[in-house]
Structure 1
Amino acid sequence: MQALNGGRLGLLRFYDPRLFPVLFSHVLQPEQCEGVGPVALSDAQVDILGCAADATRAIAQQAIAFPLQWGAEQRFQACYRGMLEACREGLLVDVEREAFVSEQVRDV
């Protein structure tokens, strides 16, 4: 989904249309959420959404580590892959996850 933010066109990411109202409940009016039932998420889905959010945060923290030619999508993909791998490795603390991603980005 494309959206404007501050007059700039961007890509809005979400993984399941049923999640849109949940993710934007602080923005949407109650009537805009009508017709969408409660969403039950599995632990795996919560992990995936958490990794996407963590990857977005890691992009800003890793800005100087990225190759100059990388665009926003490459940066997100690198951080997202790193966060997923950090989950598989059992890293739960933010500082550990961010350090893990930082090492992976430097090794690219």
Structure 2
Amino acid sequence: MEWISSLEDDCRQVGVEYIYMIFDQAAVDFSIIPILNGFPIEWHSLWQGLPEESSVRQAPLLIRFELNNRSQRLWLDDLCGEVATKSAVLMFCSLWPTPTLAGWLQKCTDGRHEGRPGLLRFYDPRLFPLLAGGLLNDEQRQQLHRPVLFWSWLDRDGAPQRLVGDGSPPVCGEDVKSIDLSDQQLEYLMCVCDANILLAQQPLAIPSFISAETLFQICYRGMQEATDKGLIMDDERDAWVCGKISEYITEKLSC
């Protein structure tokens, strides 16, 4: 797979012969744990230590693929090709020891609101760029990027995307916190759901020159604006966003 081959080259440029994947089993209709257990491969559940830890067959899994291991490398290509349209895979490069890395990312998955526990699905490639791009505050983004040299995912059009992290070495005894979301952050996360629901209903005829990723971004920003304006009824919010889509289409057609 061209995407993975490109990431393999990037890893080797920094002297790394392995790559990490977070695989979201909840995004597909099967568990990959039986296959993982057939490999001499290192993996950890990111729900370990959380109330959901017993549901390991639905959990996001941190997997370390050795790029020099032919069987692992071939399976990596096959797996990514099979789930390319499922939004199940977030790839990244890190120099951290895998157990330390797993513990850190488990804390990032432990999302909270006003101290109440929940799951922060940062590993969803549809959600990750929103969180890393501004939905999280500076401290929370720094925590997410801390162990990672670079991230990569496929967007809604199947195009590879890349984001640089921090990747500085771990510090003995370094504290990592659960990510506690503010009211506004939670409201903006709900805008993602609202945008997806609106898109599923296909309220407008969308010209082919508007990509799936662009359309989602228009809808998401529109839902944020609707929230900021205090529009709470579904029909009001949908009408506002449809207006934004129409404005975008008109602007592009007039160019």
Tell me if TM exceeds 0.5: yes
- Tell me how large the CA RMSD over aligned residues is: 3.0
Once the 2 structures are TM-superposed, how far is the Cα of residue 67 of structure 1 from its aligned partner? Answer: 2.2
TM-score (norm 1): 0.66
What is the one-letter code of the residue matched to 2:205? Answer: A
Once the 2 structures are TM-superposed, how far is the Cα of residue 82 of structure 1 from its aligned partner? Answer: 0.6
Alignment partners' CA distance in 1, 2:190 and 2:84: 24
From the superposition, tell whether residues 72 and 92 of structure 1 become closer, same or farther in structure 2 (CA, over 3 Å). same
Once the 2 structures are TM-superposed, how far is the Cα of residue 66 of structure 1 from its aligned partner? Answer: 2.2
Once the 2 structures are TM-superposed, how far is the Cα of residue 100 of structure 1 from its aligned partner? Answer: 0.8
Q: Match for residue 201 of structure 2?
A: 61
Which residue, 225, 231, 237 being the options, matches 1:97?
Answer: 237
What is the one-letter code of the residue matched to 2:210? Answer: W
Q: Which runs of 4+ in 1 moved over 3 A?
A: 1-8, 10-13, 37-40, 62-65
Query: 1:2, 1:12 within 8 Å by CA — same for their partners in 2?
Result: yes
- 1:48-84 Cα distance to aligned partner (Å, 9 max, x none): 1101111111112235332222222111101001101
Choose between structure 1 and 2: higher helix proportion. Answer: 1
TM-score (norm 2): 0.31
Q: Match for residue 214 of structure 2?
A: 74
Q: Match for residue 41 of structure 1?
A: 181
Q: Match for residue 54 of structure 2?
A: none
What is the one-letter code of the residue matched to 2:119? Answer: V
Query: 2:28, 2:88 within 8 Å by CA — same for their partners in 1?
Result: no
Q: Match for residue 27 of structure 1?
A: none
Gap regions ≥5 residues in structure 1: 25-36
Three-state SS of the structure 1 residue aligned to 2:209 is coil
Alignment partners' CA distance in 2, 1:65 and 1:23: 33
Once the 2 structures are TM-superposed, how far is the Cα of residue 12 of structure 1 from its aligned partner? Answer: 5.3
- 1:29-59 Cα distance to aligned partner (Å, 9 max, x none): xxxxxxxx86532101111110111111111
Q: Match for residue 22 of structure 1?
A: 119
Q: Match for residue 247 of structure 2?
A: 107
Query: 1:2, 1:9 within 8 Å by CA — same for their partners in 2?
Result: no
Query: 2:191, 2:224 within 8 Å by CA — same for their partners in 1?
Result: yes
Three-state SS of the structure 2 residue aligned to 1:47 is helix
Higher relative contact order (CA 8 A, sep 6+): 1
Three-state SS of the structure 2 residue aligned to 1:40 is strand
Which residue, 2, 9, 12 being the options, matches 2:84?
Answer: 9
Choose between structure 1 and 2: higher strand proportion. Answer: 2
Gap regions ≥5 residues in structure 2: 1-21, 30-81, 90-107, 112-117, 122-176, 249-255
Once the 2 structures are TM-superposed, how far is the Cα of residue 88 of structure 1 from its aligned partner? Answer: 1.2
From the superposition, tell whether residues 22 and 96 of structure 1 become closer, same or farther in structure 2 (CA, over 3 Å). same
Alignment partners' CA distance in 2, 1:86 and 1:68: 26
Give the aligned length.
Answer: 93
